[in-house]
Amino acid sequence: MKTSASFSYIIEKGFAIFTISTIRYVAFAGLAYLLLYVVFKNKWLHKRIQQKFPGKENIFYEIKYSMLNMVIFGITGMFTVWASHHSWTQIYSKIADYGTAYFIFSIVAMIFIHDTYFYWTHRFMHLKKVFPLVHKVHHHSLNPTPWAAFSFHPIEGFIEAGILPLIVFLFPVHPLAILIFLLFMTALNVMGHLGFEMYPKGFTKHAVLGINNTSTHHNMHHSLTNCNYGLYFNFWDKWMGTNHKRYHETFEKLASQNASLKPETVMKETVVLSE
């Protein structure tokens, strides 16, 4: 009976994680899509990174694979709950056990660990023999929309989801800290796939703000493939020399587009994303 009850509990938690992940994805991607591709489509056309808008078939493709990965996230969550149920993880229940300062530190630590994890797994998935088997699905979106945030091949989905089990085995984390981290991850992931550059000119060269990646940065990765591998920050791309040589130039030109131009002419001088 104990095993049965435990199994039911884990299944229930897995379904809850799937549901929360889906709501999180639909809320963030849906809001971004509604604002940029529907409500303010013409008003913010000067912020568009690539001139053409992707067709409905591409959007359905992104949603289909993203929803498949919500299931994978649920499965990964089930494993994490099962491991925690057996006291194999370092998930703790009371913030007071480690204090508020550590609680905040753990969130920051998760973000930086994930950024490193993402960069190097991303580089791995771009290896010539690995790319067509794992990462090609995500690059089907040469001109991504916010719905592409989790559009992965199932194998890549498990790789991406693997950050959570890794973290909970590495150091103590509170469930609320995990939730905040996941909200941050979803928001920044959607921002990377906006298809619009919302940051002001000079952003990438700013001494502090410049450590953050931009929508232009990841959009160039989708269209050019072998560059700009980072997720949240630009550290690893700088250190490893994998920023595209025209990244800053491309960003500045896009961020400087004139909002006063008419929609039909605003993209005439847009940057061509090519080598």
The two tokens of residue 239 are 């250190």
Which residue carries 């694979």 as its tokens?
A: 65
Number of Cβ within a 10 Å radius of residue 255: 19
For the chain, the domains span 2-255
Cα separation, 114 vs 129, whole angstroms: 24
Q: What is the pLDDT of residues 2-61, one digit of tens each?
A: 444 478 888 999 999 999 999 999 999 999 999 999 999 999 999 999 989 999 999 999
Q: What is the pLDDT of residues 173-188, one digit of tens each?
A: 999 999 999 999 999 9
Q: Contact, 142 vs 222, CB < 8 A?
A: yes
Mean pLDDT for the stretch of residues 101-119: 98
The top-scoring range by mean pLDDT among 147-151, 265-269, 271-275 is: 147-151
Mean pLDDT for the stretch of residues 201-213: 95
Specify the pLDDT at position 260. 53
The average confidence (pLDDT) of the chain is 92
Mean pLDDT for the stretch of residues 128-153: 97
Q: Is the pTM of this model over 0.95?
A: no
Specify the pLDDT at position 265. 38
Mean pLDDT for the stretch of residues 153-163: 98
Residue 211 has pLDDT above 80, yes or no: yes
pLDDT band at 86 (very low <50, low <70, confident <90, very high): confident
Specify the pLDDT at position 259. 61
Q: What is the pLDDT of residues 213-231, one digit of tens each?
A: 999 999 999 999 999 999 9
